[in-house]
Structure 1
Amino acid sequence: MQAQTLSVTSVDSTPTPARQQERKVVIACSLGNALEMYDFTIYSFFAVLIGKHFFPTESAVASLLLSLSTFGVGFLMRPVGAVLIGRFADIKGRKAALSLTIGLMTLGTAMIAFCPTYQQIGVLATVILVCGRLIQGISAGGEIGTASVFLMESATRARRCEVVSWQPASQGYAALIGAGFGFALSQFLDTASLESWGWRIPFIFGLLIGPVGWYIRTRLPETHDEQAPAKSVAASATSAALWRRIGLGIGLMASATIGMYLFVFYMPTYLVTALNYPRSSAMAIACVASACIAIITPLAGRFADRYQLRKSLLGWTVALPVVLVVPAFYVLGHTASLPLAMLMVAALVLPSCVGAGAFFSLIMEGFSKENRALGTSVSYSFGVMLFGGFSPLIAASLTAAFDSPMAPAFYLVAGGVVSLICLNYFPEHKGRE
């Protein structure tokens, strides 16, 4: 233990200019990533209202399911974005790719923010909305993997978990802003105003901050100057070992991504529609979950760096939600206490927060440098598409099918088991360049 402490102390003596450069990269990359995820996920907080405007049916449940399906459609394009923008990043560099994702996300968000309703232009409104989600999906698919690799390449080896942890932390800040908007609007606007035009305000806000993210990112230093030879890239891409590792990476994503989209983005809709919570209380609970991700994740990343934990830490953080989710959902369904409900959601979110930095570091270190961007982007995008993107739809469908508010809990249990199996077989290469 003393030897570990001494090694960390020596790393802390990194020259000030290098540490300043690292901090600049973390701030700029995290801000851009937060803007991306805010624009992509704000839809989920207003799914009920969007369903009324763009998917009018006689059944409120059917309208909600159609709206949540459109939320999930954005995830179908994430693997496409991962491949296209990942390739663009290999040719033009990380910085150019990250700037491109901001531009695409701004376009997709604008289409949703200003789209006329179904009552105004008919089915064309639904088409425009879906196209906006598809463009957002391409952007988000190229964002996460490129941003994560960019952070890793910009960090010192001994601070890797902490620096990389700012990527999931930035998603927490994005969700916190989105949930905060939902809470504020539910407090200051009456129901008629919120349903008529108030739901558009968060999307318009996303357009205002888009150019800010682009401005900052164009001033980032490039970390990737040379493209690997075409034959080398092709050989790596067709390697059975590489795709086996990508498959394990996709399975690793199951627990984390189901938890993220279930406890943060779907939770307000679930609490309102399944448990009859007031909208303001549901948004407040989502704020608590988002704040946990934003604050705890970087602190836990520093802990993982100090004690060089990866798989041993992740074993606990993946298993705990599996054990806690059923009793936590039971309490949520049998309490009218807002503080107790907040405590239950926080308890479900915290394990993933603690393991986030080690989780992303483990995945990226599992791939060699010449195929790290490809492996990370595809693992993340396919994992989120398969397990996370349709989590709200699956949870709502299970709740309706079994007529039980406990149904979503068992979906997380299944995802946790998949992740634990993949974690057991995924290789660990601590400190890999």
Structure 2
Amino acid sequence: MTSAAPRPKATPKVIAAITIGNGLEFFDFTVYGYFAIVIGQLFFPVKDKAYELMLALGTFGIAFVARPIGGLVLGLFADKVGRKPAMTLTLILMALGALGVAVAPTYAQIGLWAPVWLTVARLVQGFALGGEVGASTSLLLEYADDHSRGYFGSWQFVSQGFSSLLGAGVAALLTNTLSHDALYSWGWRIPFFIGVLMVPVGVYIRRHLDETLGHRAHADESAKAKLKEAFSTHAKLIWSGVLLIWGGTVATYLIVFYFPTYAKQYLGMPLSVSLWAGVTASAILIPVSIFAGRLSDRVGRIPVTWWSRLALVLLVVPGFMLLVHYRTPAVLLGVVAVLSVLLALQASPGITFITELYPRPIRATSLSVVYSLGVAIFGGTAQVIATWLIKLTGSELAPAWYMIVATLLSSLPFLWLKETAGKPI
């Protein structure tokens, strides 16, 4: 029988140390989405604007291919060596990937090698981020007691909200202050350089965190033994987790990251206006995620997640209908605000619930693989599928219907999984 590490003292400084690094990595990874239209024109110059956008979003999604590999490799590293060294390694790798994007030559400069360069840089970013979520979320929950894990887990999405807010804010600032030529020649690179420069800050502030892995006996287990335990003994929990991730990640990538592109491409709004959709969504994620985490500590993960998902299913189509009919910035921000509240209500308890399903010795590995697989299969493809569905059906409501299908099917595991709130893990 293995023993768990004594639970270290949790302080605001500790939460900040864990989540700031996580937020920095998500900033580097997701800011790409806010410049998808610009990157599409610079790296994938084709006549059909829809295909140009799909290629740019495809490069956004290609990074997700590497996330399960990174989740497996870095998750095993976190369960064997420790959460802290794994999180430091992911930060360094993310910086390398962001630097690759920042200095990438365009199609006009090196031709077909430009998208190849971009793809490699995005794959490095995907590999790094694949291991970050499992290690950082495991560390957050292992600092918490049995009655505060929802609150601690919520900081995973608070950090993502901060990073998305920063990314959207920087994008909005650049598009409103730079000329078209300046934005397309060098301005779009600035956020990626910012991301590179912020990574050393994350490495520094994580130096003094306490390790929570537990007894060194865990470190003596082979990777093969850990994988066998995760994918054989707990196989049903692994695939249930992947299914649960589906609805949440599709909603996240469509509401937070796709809406600015959607508003520009299909609603005819200027990029400088449409980017405020991303700012709005990100700003709402921060306080509502904390509220949802605390609420799930009191009433349970499953009720909060389930009812917020049901509300999203009922409201997403009417929201898109309002957008298509009125096509004004006020309606855009109003719809995004409502949907973002429902997203935050399900996301925070959801990631906590999934993390609590797995025992400590394989927690980082299991969560990294589950999250990375779910996001790679469903999150990385969400924007491409939404764009393809609009082109296929001719309906600007298509993304809403896809979100409904994903949300309903991904909620099936609630039929057989048991509540985890308040129970020892």
- TM-score band, normalised by the shorter chain? over 0.9
Deviations 1:4-34 (A, max 9, x none): xxxxxxxxxxxxx975x43222101110000
Return the alpha-carbon distance in structure 2 between the equivalents of residues 189 and 68 of structure 1: 23
Give 1:227 shift: 4.6
**SS class of match (1:416):** helix
Q: Give the aligned residue type for 2:109.
A: Q
Return the alpha-carbon distance in structure 2 between the equivalents of residues 359 and 277 of structure 1: 33
Query: 1:269 maps to what in 2?
Result: 261
Q: Give the aligned residue type for 2:207.
A: T
Query: 1:36 maps to what in 2?
Result: 25
**SS class of match (1:115):** coil
Query: 1:372 maps to what in 2?
Result: 363
Structure 1 counterpart of 2:321, from 305, 323, 330: 330
- The question of whether the paired residues in 2 share the 8 Å contact of 1:248 and 1:425 is answered with no
Query: 2:115 maps to what in 1?
Result: 126
Gaps of 5+ in 1: 1-16
Deviations 1:224-253 (A, max 9, x none): 1525233853541342x5111111111111
Return the alpha-carbon distance in structure 2 between the equivalents of residues 212 and 68 of structure 1: 29
**SS class of match (1:43):** helix
Verify: 1:296 aligned to 2:285, yes or no: no
Verify: 1:388 aligned to 2:379, yes or no: yes
Verify: 1:345 aligned to 2:336, yes or no: yes
Q: Give the aligned residue type for 1:309.
A: G
Return the alpha-carbon distance in structure 2 between the equivalents of residues 164 and 352 of structure 1: 15
Return the alpha-carbon distance in structure 1 between the equivalents of residues 416 and 179 of structure 2: 53
Query: 1:426 maps to what in 2?
Result: 417
Return the alpha-carbon distance in structure 1 between the equivalents of residues 106 and 293 of structure 2: 44
Gaps of 5+ in 2: 1-6
**What value does the CA root-mean-square deviation take over the aligned residues?**
1.7
**SS class of match (1:275):** coil
Deviations 1:54-107 (A, max 9, x none): 112222222211111111000011000000001111222110000000000000
Deviations 1:171-201 (A, max 9, x none): 1111111111111112111212111111111
Verify: 1:26 aligned to 2:4, yes or no: no
Return the alpha-carbon distance in structure 1 between the equivalents of residues 202 and 8 of structure 2: 23
Q: Give the aligned residue type for 2:46.
A: T
Query: 1:11 maps to what in 2?
Result: none
- Counterparts of residues 404-423 of structure 1 (less than 5 Å): 404-423=395-414
Query: 1:257 maps to what in 2?
Result: 249
Verify: 1:114 aligned to 2:112, yes or no: no
Runs of 4+ in 1 over 6 A off after TM superposition: none
Return the alpha-carbon distance in structure 1 between the equivalents of residues 21 and 190 of structure 2: 20
Return the alpha-carbon distance in structure 2 between the equivalents of residues 227 and 115 of structure 1: 45
Query: 1:100 maps to what in 2?
Result: 89
Query: 1:8 maps to what in 2?
Result: none
Distance of aligned partners of 1:146 and 1:205 in 2 relative to their CA distance in 1, 3 Å threshold: same
Query: 2:127 maps to what in 1?
Result: 138
Verify: 1:58 aligned to 2:51, yes or no: no
Query: 2:142 maps to what in 1?
Result: 153
Return the alpha-carbon distance in structure 1 between the equivalents of residues 217 and 32 of structure 2: 37
Deviates more, 1:163-172 or 1:53-62: 53-62
Return the alpha-carbon distance in structure 2 between the equivalents of residues 422 and 344 of structure 1: 29
Distance of aligned partners of 1:304 and 1:128 in 2 relative to their CA distance in 1, 3 Å threshold: same
Query: 1:245 maps to what in 2?
Result: 237
Deviations 1:292-325 (A, max 9, x none): 11221112212222x2411122110111111111
Deviations 1:99-135 (A, max 9, x none): 0000000000000001111111222222111000000
Q: Give the aligned residue type for 1:426.
A: L
Deviations 1:121-168 (A, max 9, x none): 222222111000000000010001111101001112221111110001
Please report the TM-score for the alignment, with normalisation by the length of structure 1: 0.92
Query: 1:192 maps to what in 2?
Result: 181
Return the alpha-carbon distance in structure 2 between the equivalents of residues 57 and 198 of structure 1: 22
Query: 2:159 maps to what in 1?
Result: 170
